[in-house]
Amino acid sequence: MHPPPRFGKKELKHKDNHPMREQHSVLEAFRRRPPVHPRELVGLWKGRGIPAGHPLDGVLENLGWFGKRFTPDMRADALLFWSGERRLVAIDPARIPLGLALRFHKVGRTRAARNLFSYLQRRLRAKGPVASLTTMVFGGVESAAMVYDDQPIVDHFRRIDNRSIMGAMTINGDGRIYFFELEQVDEP
């Protein structure tokens, strides 16, 4: 189990569990964060989701998500997962049917999904980086963003502190946002 997100529980207070209110509350916390430059992201980052009423809340963690890796040439391993207890494997998001994942998200939180994903990891493996780092305007602020090569996804980033950033994953055509936190770690 991951510790709670670092950016402050007060920023995420809402009166009920209505998904749109949760989304709005976390989005406001994201917008208050300062921008980050793409070059500051180079390295390995351990991730954790920030619950905000998105269908993918809890899915990545259940499947063994580790985080992301950004390279000096502004490319990225967008989805790093544990393979066993010691090895990280980069997964190619183009091999994941995004529409099905969103539609059947509850299945993604089950033990059966975790076992199936573990079995399929070899077939889902990326042959190299699958996304690019750039700057984009989101919420009126220019900051680092990661654009997926073969999926309609952009991850927008803002700074939490010197070793942590907050991410907002947007999917073209879907108004919901998946929020996450990344903490910079040393390469294993």
The tens digit of pLDDT for each residue in 34-62 reads 999 999 999 999 999 999 988 888 888 98
Residue 19 has pLDDT above 80, yes or no: no
The pLDDT, as a whole number, for residue 107 is 74
Q: Please, which pLDDT band fits residue 4 given cuts at 50, 70 and 90?
A: very low
pLDDT band at residue 67 using 50, 70 and 90 as cut-offs: very high
Rg (CA), the chain: 16
3-state class of 58 per DSSP? coil
Rounded mean pLDDT of 64-68? Answer: 93
User: Cα(139)–Cα(137) distance, rounded to whole angstroms?
Assistant: 7
The CA distance from 1 to 91, in Å, is 22
Instruction: State the average pLDDT for the chain.
Output: 86
Averaged over 17-46, what is the pLDDT? 88
The Cα–Cα gap between 151 and 180 comes to 18
pLDDT on residue 105: 75
Give domain limits for the chain. Answer: 19-185
147: tokens are 């654009």
Token pair, residue 41, equals 């992201």
To which CATH superfamily is domain 19-185 assigned?
GXWXG domain (2.40.128.580)
Please, which residues have CB within 8 angstroms of residue 161's CB and are 6 or more apart in sequence?
A: 6
pLDDT in tens, 113-164: 888 878 788 888 999 999 999 999 999 999 999 999 999 999 999 999 999 9
d(CA 7, CA 11): 8
